[in-house]
Structure formats: C-alpha cells, structure tokens
C-alpha cells in the first residue's frame, strides 16, 4: 500500500515545489516532540494594507425585491449559526440563477475555520451534489490544502454565488451582489483569520478589487466584515491552474498559499 506521505510528496511535485519545502519526515505535524521545532515562517515584510471601510460590493448589496422564497436581510442577519443560515437560504430566488439550480451550494467545512477559501460559484458537479469544489478543480484544491499540512475539513470552503451559473459562466455583478450578503454572514459566523480568494470573481465581488488576477494575486488585501478586518490573499482559481498547468502558475499558487498559511501560523502564535 502507498505510504500516506507519498501522496503528499506527489502533490508537491505536481505543484512544482519539491525542493522548496522540507522533506515530509521533517514536517511539523510528523516530527517527534523532541526534535528541534521547524523554522518559523519569515514574517511578510509588509502587513496587509488598511481595509476599505466597506467594500463597494458590500455597499451594492440590495435586498431581494421579490420576497417569495427569499430570506429578508433581517433573517440573514439573525441567523445565529451556519446551519440556521443555510436553512434560511434554501428557497432563495433572489437572482436568475435560483430557478436553474439542482442544489443550493451553501459551503462546507469547519464552522470556526481559521482558513477560508472563497471561489466563484458552483459548477456541474457541485450543483448535483450540493457541495463546493467537488469536481476536478476541487480535487486540486484538496491537494493544495493537503500540501499545506491541513485537511479540507479543517478549512471552510464557500463561493460568491450559491447557485450554478448556466454553462459555468462567470456570475454577473447583479447575481454576485444578490448573494453577497449571504457570504458576508457566513464570514461573520466563521470569523476566519485569513481568506484566500480563488480567481478574479471573489476578489472583485468580496474585496472590491477590479484589477486582473494575474497582477493582483499574491498581494495582501483586507476586508472589513462584521467589524473585523480580515486579511485576504488572492490567488488563481484551481480551474485556471488546471488549464494553465505551467510550473510558473503552480509556483505562484503555492507561494500565495504558503503566505496565507504563514500568516495564519503567526496569528495563532501565543
Ligand atoms: N469552481 C468554483 O468557483 N466553485 C466551486 O465550488 C467549484 C468550482
């Protein structure tokens, strides 16, 4: 049977990062307590810039005009837990994506995850299963999370829109904004220490950054949600990584994820 660490090594090789990281035997989680502790991550020289007080996307959120099946903003704000919020949203028809969905894809993971990923919207597999990132892009996301030394269930994974856009097109700004209040409430409840945005859409809709992802990736941003500033690390969408499977792209994503993990580890340091 394949040694469990072999899969981890394979993932790093796929990401093009073997040689840049410690050998599996020296990974912190595997090391016996008596071993010298692994080197602390080097702090990023620059802290994330100050957040915009309220992102333009947040300002643009408009409550649904047709209340049939849609939770009012007061219901969304009053949902005290993720399951309660998920339940309240099940009948949502706030935008044209609602009637076309098979399943509402709320998001999943640790309700108090320190690391949260935000993608664009469900694809075919996600629409069928009602779970985020379960197709090919999700497989790669799982591997990337594993390469960080985490399990998928230790993170939280959500999308800007909760219903599948037809033909997997990018959600329109109106569709994204109809759903944005739901994502904000999820973030308020989870209170992640770091958010990693996957691709241009969550960066634009959640953080208000219009710049292309190729230029914007790897640069810390912040969002102010529920009175908390949350550092945001933008990176490429895993589907883009699969399409552009070059070492340059894979290394870029790995650098972004490592930066997010280092921030997380520092934030957790006593
Ligand atoms: N792409 C996304 O942005 N989200 C998913 O859940 C799946 C694919």
Taking only the tens place, the pLDDT of each residue in 164-219 is 999 999 999 999 999 999 999 999 999 999 999 999 999 999 999 999 999 999 99
Q: Establish whether residue 123 lines the binding site of ligand 1, counting it when its CB lies within 6 angstroms of any ligand atom.
A: yes
Is a pLDDT exceeding 70 seen at residue 53? no
Is a pLDDT exceeding 90 seen at residue 60? no
Is a pLDDT exceeding 60 seen at residue 29? no
- The C-alpha torsion from 89 through 131 and 200 to 266, rounded to 10°, is 100
Segment 154-158 shows an average pLDDT of 98
In tens, the pLDDT along 32-49 reads 333 333 344 444 445 565
Q: Establish whether residue 175 lines the binding site of ligand 1, counting it when its CB lies within 6 angstroms of any ligand atom.
A: no
- Give residue 47 CA to ligand 1 midpoint distance, Å: 29
What is the Cα–Cα distance from 235 to 244, expressed in whole angstroms? 14
Segment 82-103 shows an average pLDDT of 93
The distance of Cα 131 from the centroid of its chain, to the nearest Å, equals: 14
- Residue 85 main-chain phi, psi, to 5 deg: -65, -45
- Backbone conformation region of residue 168, classed left if phi is above 0, alpha if psi is from -120 to 50, else beta: left
Q: Establish whether residue 107 lines the binding site of ligand 1, counting it when its CB lies within 6 angstroms of any ligand atom.
A: no
Q: Establish whether residue 121 lines the binding site of ligand 1, counting it when its CB lies within 6 angstroms of any ligand atom.
A: yes
Is a pLDDT exceeding 80 seen at residue 258? yes
Residue 228, class by beta-carbon neighbours within 10 Å (0-12 exposed, 13-18 middle, 19+ buried)? middle
Is a pLDDT exceeding 50 seen at residue 133? yes
Residues 241-270 as b/e (b if ≥16 CB within 10 A, e otherwise) read: beeeeeeebbebbbbbbbbbbbbbeeeeee
Q: Establish whether residue 108 lines the binding site of ligand 1, counting it when its CB lies within 6 angstroms of any ligand atom.
A: no
173, containing H or E segment: helix 173-190
Reported for 81-89, long-range contacts at CB under 8 A and 24+ positions apart, including other chains, are 81/111, 81/189, 82/106, 82/107, 82/111, 82/186, 82/189, 82/190, 85/182, 85/185, 85/186, 85/189, 89/162, 89/182
Q: Establish whether residue 119 lines the binding site of ligand 1, counting it when its CB lies within 6 angstroms of any ligand atom.
A: yes
What is the Cα–Cα distance from 77 to 71, expressed in whole angstroms? 10
pLDDT for the residue 15: 54
pLDDT for the residue 70: 81
| Listed range (3-17, 26-40, 114-128, 159-173) with the worst mean pLDDT | 26-40
Closest-CA residue to 54 (of 197, 226, 235, 176): 226
Q: What single-letter DSSP state applies at residue 203?
A: I
Q: What percent of the chain has pLDDT over 70?
A: 74
Q: Where do runs of H (alpha helix) occur along 15-153?
A: 56-60, 73-78, 82-89, 124-129, 136-147
Is a pLDDT exceeding 60 seen at residue 4? no
Biggest alpha carbon distance in the chain?
A: 62
Reported for 63-66, long-range contacts at CB under 8 A and 24+ positions apart, including other chains, are 63/181, 64/92, 64/93, 64/94, 64/178, 66/93, 66/94
Q: Establish whether residue 132 lines the binding site of ligand 1, counting it when its CB lies within 6 angstroms of any ligand atom.
A: yes
- Give residue 229 CA to ligand 1 midpoint distance, Å: 25
pLDDT for the residue 267: 86
256, containing H or E segment: helix 247-268
pLDDT band at 54 (very low <50, low <70, confident <90, very high): very low
Q: Establish whether residue 171 lines the binding site of ligand 1, counting it when its CB lies within 6 angstroms of any ligand atom.
A: no
What is the Cα–Cα distance from 78 to 85, expressed in whole angstroms? 8
13, containing H or E segment: helix 4-14
pLDDT for the residue 212: 96
pLDDT for the residue 48: 60
pLDDT for the residue 42: 43
- Looking from the CA of residue 198, the nearest atom of ligand 1 is 3
Cβ 117 vs Cβ 155: under 8 Å = yes
pLDDT for the residue 71: 86
The domains located in the chain, with CATH, are 105-268 (3.40.470.10)
Cβ 28 vs Cβ 38: under 8 Å = yes
Is a pLDDT exceeding 50 seen at residue 8? no
Segment 69-94 shows an average pLDDT of 92
> Would you state the structure tokens that stand for residue 85, as one six-digit string?
């919020």
pLDDT for the residue 269: 56
Segment 231-240 shows an average pLDDT of 98
Give the chain's mean pLDDT: 83
**Residue of 109, 136, 138 to mutate, ligand 1, most atoms within 8 A of C-beta:** 138
pLDDT for the residue 5: 44
197, containing H or E segment: strand 194-198
| Listed range (23-32, 77-86, 206-215, 254-263) with the worst mean pLDDT | 23-32
Higher pLDDT, 197 or 4: 197
């Amino acid at each position: 049977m394949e040694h469990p660490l072999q899969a981890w090594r394979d993932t790093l090789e796929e990401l093009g990062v073997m040689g840049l990281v410690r050998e599996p035997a020296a990974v912190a989680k595997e090391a016996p307590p008596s071993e010298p502790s692994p080197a602390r991550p080097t702090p990023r020289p620059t802290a994330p810039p100050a957040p915009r007080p309220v992102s333009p996307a947040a300002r643009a959120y408009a409550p649904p005009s047709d209340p049939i099946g849609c939770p009012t903003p007061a219901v969304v704000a009053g949902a005290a837990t993720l399951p309660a919020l998920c339940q309240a949203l099940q009948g949502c028809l706030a935008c044209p994506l609602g009637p076309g969905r098979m399943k509402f894809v709320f998001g999943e993971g640790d309700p108090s995850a320190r690391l949260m990923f935000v993608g664009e919207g469900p694809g075919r597999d996600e629409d069928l299963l009602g779970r985020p990132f379960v197709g090919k892009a999700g497989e790669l996301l799982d591997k990337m999370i594993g390469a960080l030394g985490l399990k998928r269930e230790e993170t939280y994974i959500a999308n800007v829109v909760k219903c599948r856009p037809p033909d997997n097109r990018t959600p329109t700004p109106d569709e994204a904004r109809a759903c944005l209040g739901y994502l904000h409430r999820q973030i308020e409840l989870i209170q992640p220490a770091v958010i990693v945005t996957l691709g241009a859409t969550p960066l634009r809709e959640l953080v208000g950054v219009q710049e292309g992802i190729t230029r914007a990736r790897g640069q810390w941003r912040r969002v102010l949600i529920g009175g908390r500033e949350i550092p945001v690390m933008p990176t490429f969408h895993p589907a883009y990584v699969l399409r552009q499977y070059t070492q340059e792209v894979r290394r870029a994503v790995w650098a972004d994820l490592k930066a997010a993990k280092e921030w997380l580890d520092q934030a957790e340091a006593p």
